[in-house]
C-alpha cells in the first residue's frame, strides 16, 4: 500500500509541474502585414542601382550566361514570374 501512495504522490507532483505557467503570451499573427509601399522594402537608391546594373548587363549578354550571374538570373526569373503585368499576365 505504501508503494501505491508513493506512485500517486509522484503522479500528482508531475501534474502540478505541468500546470504551472507564467504570464500567458498573446497569440502570434500568422500572416505578416503586406507592405503597401516599395520604399518600405527597398530604398530608391537601391532600385536605381539595380536598374543601372541590369541595363549594363543587358548590353553584354555573354556575361549574363556566366556562372557568376547564376543567382542574378534566378532572381530575375523569380521576379518575372511574380509580376502581375506585362506578357506574363497576358498569356495566362
> How is the chain split into domains, by residue range?
61-87
Residue in 77, 89, 66, 79 with CA at minimum distance from that of residue 38: 79
Alpha carbon separation from 86 to 9, 34, 46, 58, 90 (Å, rounded): 71, 22, 23, 19, 6
Q: What is the pTM of this model?
A: 0.52
Among the listed ranges 11-20, 31-40, 55-64, which one has the minimum average pLDDT value? 11-20
pLDDT tens digits for 39-76?
889 999 999 999 999 999 999 999 999 999 999 999 99
Amino acid at each position: 500500500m505504501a508503494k501505491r501512495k508513493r506512485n500517486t504522490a509522484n503522479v500528482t507532483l508531475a501534474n502540478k509541474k505541468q500546470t504551472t505557467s507564467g504570464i500567458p503570451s498573446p497569440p502570434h499573427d500568422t500572416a505578416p502585414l503586406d507592405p503597401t509601399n516599395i520604399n518600405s522594402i527597398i530604398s530608391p537608391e537601391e532600385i536605381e542601382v539595380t536598374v543601372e546594373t541590369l541595363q549594363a548587363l543587358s548590353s553584354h549578354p555573354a556575361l549574363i550566361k556566366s556562372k557568376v550571374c547564376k543567382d542574378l538570373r534566378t532572381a530575375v526569373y523569380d521576379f518575372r514570374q511574380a509580376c502581375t503585368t506585362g506578357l506574363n499576365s497576358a498569356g495566362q
